[in-house]
């Protein structure tokens, strides 16, 4: 894996790999919190892709490739979605409403703790704190609305409200000093 990027509550990765979570791919995949999904079939790129980035809320893929899916594309391509997904379950066209606006996190920046208020917080919901690499740094017990962040390295983090299955319900970026 050469690059990882959080976008719309999903972790996207790019690199020189042909399998992710048991799913065949050609170096472009996503993690939705439960499973890995390949975004392109095997042998989609003629040469490896190695970077991903965002510009104007669009995902771009870059690398040494000169073709993608049989089309001539010189080293950079805009991801416009697609219907190739494997191991990701049924596709849905219903738009999901984001509850992030209902989430309040304070203090931000934080030094010793983070308090979270979210309208649907219940006994089976817990907080998760991820670093910029998408690694889980801290997870609170179910039903608790405060995370002790003493001893956490200063930096930018993503705090998630997750249900008992680990599905993200709301998220917000936070700074720890």
**Tens digit of pLDDT for each residue in 82-127?**
655 544 533 333 444 444 557 889 999 999 999 998 777 677 888 9
Contact 12, 4 (CB under 8 A): yes
Contact 30, 59 (CB under 8 A): no
For residues 131 and 87, which has the higher predicted lDDT (pLDDT)? Answer: 131
Average pLDDT over residues 9-14: 87
Instruction: Name the pTM for this structure.
Output: 0.47
Average pLDDT over residues 1-26: 83
Give the up-direction half-sphere exposure of residue 5: CA atoms within 13 A in the CB hemisphere: 21
Which pLDDT does position 51 carry in this prediction? 81
Average pLDDT over residues 135-151: 91
């Amino acid at each position: 894996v050469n690059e990882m990027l959080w976008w719309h509550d999903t972790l996207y990765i790019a690199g020189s790999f042909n399998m992710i979570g048991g799913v065949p791919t050609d170096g472009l995949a996503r993690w939705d919190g439960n499973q890995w999904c390949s975004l392109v079939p095997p042998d989609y790129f003629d040469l490896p892709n190695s970077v991903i980035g965002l510009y104007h809320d669009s995902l771009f893929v870059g690398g040494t490739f000169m073709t993608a899916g049989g089309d001539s594309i010189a080293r950079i391509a805009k991801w416009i979605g697609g219907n190739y997904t494997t191991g990701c379950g049924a596709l849905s066209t219903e738009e999901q409403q984001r509850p992030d606006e209902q989430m309040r996190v304070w203090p931000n920046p934080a030094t010793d703790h983070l308090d979270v208020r979210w309208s649907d917080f219940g006994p089976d919901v817990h907080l998760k704190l991820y670093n910029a690499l998408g690694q889980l740094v801290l997870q609170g017990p179910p039903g608790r609305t405060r995370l002790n962040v003493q001893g956490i390295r200063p930096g930018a983090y993503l705090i998630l409200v997750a249900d008992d299955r680990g599905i993200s319900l709301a998220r917000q970026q936070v700074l720890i000093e």
